[in-house]
Amino acid sequence: MRTRPLKVALLGCGVVGSEVARIMTTHADDLAARIGAPVELAGVAVRRPSKVREGIDPALVTTDATALVKRGDIDVVVEVIGGIEPARTLITTAFEHGASVVSANKALLAQDGAALHAAAGQHGKDLYYEAAVAGAIPLIRPLRESLAGDKVNRVLGIVNGTTNFILDKMDSTGAGYQEALDEATALGYAEADPTADVEGFDAAAKAAILAGIAFHTRVRLDDVYREGMTEVTAADFRSATEMGCTIKLLAICERARDGASVTARVHPAMIPLSHPLASVRGAYNAVFVESDAAGQLMFYGPGAGGSPTASAVLGDLVAVCRNRLNGTTGPGESAYADLTVSSMGEVVTRYHISLDVADKPGVLAQVATVFAEHGVSIDTVRQQGKDGEASLVVVTHRASDASLTGTVEALRKLDTVRGVASIMRVEGE
Ligand code: HSE
């Protein structure tokens, strides 16, 4: 074994960074044996230097992250500060000064992954980011390496623990969205400002990363259709139960049936209780992958938290250090397929639509005609009437999102349709 240690600079020492430092210390011998050389924490960049950080030598702590990545003797920079800047500049500066990078930064990777990969390639360095998607769950490397010989057709996942906790609570207790969110906040699952989670931004960034790797095609954050889950109601869960389904916030990356294009989207959807994703409870994440040769695979585990995320970071650190010792790099960006990323209008799926309508002769025929005129085939209709008004639940066969949108617009114009109570996609069948 080489005795000269590989030097690691840690950018950020919060929930994840402090766990990375702790595991690097407590597992030092194992890590050295697995890598073939010891790893040494050579510097820790933080915002608040006065904070006491157990197990970290205060002499290593600095507020000057730029100077740390420019030192020239750093082998690997571990970036766990998150956000776009200064993380982006620090990562590119690290490459310029000879370091490889391990990052947990989904927002940055989703927005600027191509440029960061290009910078890594230009300098002959590694960029690994297993921790950016679904915490501890191995996904990036299985898609990038283990499935490199297969053809992935679909990635369907629960990649946000906060929203899964809320939806699971609504499902199991009948609570409304706000009540379930309040509980998630009280228990520390939801942040004080939960927007990134509940509006689907966090999941959309992860979908962009997964789709890009799965389909060997650049998928930008802007390519991902996004709907949050704040409008999901207790009534939606009752409808889902009647259908033998539950509701999950899903990230769905799909190859079109003709193979020529792909789509990526995040939205709440009904899935049958028989689907493996339906049984993912609490704040857990799971990703279901469908490929030509392997068939169906499911990856399951904790998608957030200091220790689980640090596990993914450490796995990358070991891989990058091994590459470094061998004078090589791992796989870089693979975007050769360059498939068209289609818009949401071209997505084809089933829909569950709840309408409030007048309960009088001809209304059902009127509504059915609108669906027919837009080429949307109805699978089932269920009506419950009371005092001249009725609630009509229509479940469609597979139709394009554009056709469904046209249908709903036309339905809203009917005098007999008092309102469209909810529209929910039905997935996983
Ligand atoms: N906020 C995310 C979640 C974890 O709730 O899953 C970090 O991506």
Q: 206, 248, 386, 413: which one is catalytic? A: 206
For residue 384, pLDDT over 90 is answered with no
> What dihedral angle (degrees, nearest 10) is formed by the CA atoms of 305, 318, 301, 226?
70
Atom of ligand 1 minimally distant from the CA of 303: 6
Q: How far is residue 61's CA from residue 79's CA, in Å, rounded to a whole number?
A: 15
For residue 387, pLDDT over 90 is answered with no
Contact partners, residue 78, CB within 8 Å, separation at least 6: 8, 9, 10, 11, 17, 20, 101, 102, 103, 313, 317
The DSSP bridge partners found for residue 392 are: 355, 383
Q: How confident is the model at residue 259 (pLDDT cuts 50, 70, 90)?
A: confident
Pocket test for ligand 1, best of 201, 202, 249, 280 (most atoms within 8 A of CB): 202
For residue 53, pLDDT over 90 is answered with no
Q: How far is residue 277's CA from residue 293's CA, in Å, rounded to a whole number?
A: 21
Could you tell me if the CB of 104 is within 6 A of ligand 1? no
Q: What is the DSSP letter of 5?
A: P
Least confident of 255-259, 267-271, 288-292, 404-408: 255-259
Could you tell me if the CB of 109 is within 6 A of ligand 1? no
CA 135 to chain centre: 10
Q: How far is residue 126's CA from residue 91's CA, in Å, rounded to a whole number?
A: 11
The DSSP annotation for 304-358 comes to: SSHHHHHHHHHHHHHHHHHHHHTT--------TT--EE--GGG-EEEEEEEEEEE
Contact partners, residue 101, CB within 8 Å, separation at least 6: 76, 77, 78, 79, 91, 94, 95, 120, 125, 126, 127, 128
Q: How far is residue 401's CA from residue 399's CA, in Å, rounded to a whole number?
A: 6
Atom of ligand 1 minimally distant from the CA of 106: 8
**400: phi then psi, degrees, rounded to nearest 5:** -75, 155
Average pLDDT over residues 296-305: 96
For residue 212, pLDDT over 90 is answered with yes
The reply, when asked if residue 266 is annotated as ligand binding, is: no
Q: How far is residue 303's CA from residue 18's CA, in Å, rounded to a whole number?
A: 18
The share of the chain scoring above pLDDT 70, in percent, equals: 100
The reply, when asked if residue 11 is annotated as ligand binding, is: yes
For residue 2, pLDDT over 90 is answered with no
Pocket test for ligand 1, best of 106, 160, 181, 281 (most atoms within 8 A of CB): 160
pLDDT digits (tens, 9 = 90+) for 321-337: 999 999 999 999 999 99
Classified as helix, coil or strand, 380 is strand
- Decide: 119 and 77 in contact? Cβ < 8 Å: no
The reply, when asked if residue 96 is annotated as ligand binding, is: no
Q: Whose CA is nearest to atom 7 of ligand 1?
A: 304
Structure tokens at 399: 């139709």
pLDDT score of 51 = 87
Q: Is 51 one of the annotated active-site residues of the chain? A: no
Pocket test for ligand 1, best of 80, 162, 210, 300 (most atoms within 8 A of CB): 162
- Chain mean pLDDT for the chain: 96
CATH superfamily of 140-302: Dihydrodipicolinate Reductase; domain 2 (3.30.360.10)
Cα 330 to ligand 1 centroid, rounded to whole Å: 27
Q: What is the DSSP letter of 200?
A: S
The reply, when asked if residue 191 is annotated as ligand binding, is: yes
Whole-model pTM over 0.85: yes
pLDDT score of 286 = 98
Residue (of 34, 77, 271) closest to 164 by Cα position = 271
Task: Report the Cα–Cα distance between both ends of the chain, in Å, rounded.
Answer: 52
Task: Output the CA–CA distances (angstroms, integers) from residue 227 to 230, 249, 264, 269, 423, in the order listed.
Answer: 9, 9, 12, 10, 12
- Decide: 53 and 13 in contact? Cβ < 8 Å: yes
For residue 385, pLDDT over 90 is answered with no
Average pLDDT over residues 251-277: 96
Domain residue ranges of the chain, discontinuous segments joined by +? 6-135+306-326, 140-302, 344-426
The highest-level CATH class for domain 6-135+306-326 is alpha beta
Atom of ligand 1 minimally distant from the CA of 159: 6
Least confident of 137-141, 250-254, 386-390, 425-429: 386-390
The share of the chain scoring above pLDDT 90, in percent, equals: 95
Atom of ligand 1 minimally distant from the CA of 161: 6
Classified as helix, coil or strand, 292 is coil
Question: Does the domain at residues 344-426 carry the CATH identifier 1.10.3720.10?
Answer: no
Cα 228 to ligand 1 centroid, rounded to whole Å: 14
The reply, when asked if residue 253 is annotated as ligand binding, is: no
344-426 shares the fold of 140-302:
no
For residue 388, pLDDT over 90 is answered with no
